[in-house]
Amino acid sequence: MEAEVDKLELMFQKADSDLDYIQYRLEYEIKTNHPDSAGEKNAVTILKELSAIKSRYQALSARFKPISIEQKENQNRICATLSKTMTMIQELQKQTDLELTLLTEEEKAVTEQLK
């Protein structure tokens, strides 16, 4: 059994290296037949650039998603804290018979905005 498994493993390794060699030879042939020139890149180079920008896009997308979620959470937390604080201040002003400080137009506008 053990021998069979080793044999199978060797076959996979052989296939793997064969595939690498085939790819290498093809790329080498294309680069040789159509070397990159100043204005023109060959198809292999472009193919590599395409896969590079795909992986760069995936990396940036994976980085962006959690940040935007965290921003939303922070904003919600700030809103909750702000409204609690403002409510409490108004209650305190009532309790101490202090004159309620009215919100300025600007403050009203941003309160609406934050709501």
Partner 1 sequence: TLKGDVNTLLDEARLVSQESTRFIKATKVLMK
Partner 2 sequence: SDLEQLCSYVNEKIDNIKKILTIRNLGQAPSLKTTLSKIEDEIITVNEFLNNLELEIQYQEQTNKSLKELCVSLEEDLKDVEHLK
Q: Name the site residues for partner 1 (rule: CB under 8 A).
A: 53-54, 57, 60-61, 64, 68, 71, 75, 78, 82, 86, 106-107, 110-111, 113-114
Give the one residue of 10, 22, 98, 109 binding partner 2; rule: CB under 8 A: 22
Q: Rounded to whole angstroms, how far apart are CA atoms 74 and 80? A: 10
27 binds, among partner 2, partner 1, none (CB under 5 to 8 A by kind): partner 2
The minimum distance between CB 76 and partner 1, in angstroms, equals 10
Question: Out of partner 1, partner 2, none, which partner does residue 19 contact, by CB within 5 to 8 A per kind?
Answer: partner 2
Residue 8 interacts with partner 2 (CB under 8 A)?
no
Judged by CB under 8 A, how many residues of this single chain contact partner 2? Answer: 45
| % helix, strand, coil for the chain, step of 5 | 85, 0, 15
Which spans in the chain are helix H?
2-33, 43-95, 105-114
Q: Helix 2-33 and helix 43-95: axis angle, to 10°?
A: 100
Which range, of 62-70, 98-106, 107-115, touches partner 2 by CB under 8 A? 62-70
Residue reference for tokens 């100043």: 38
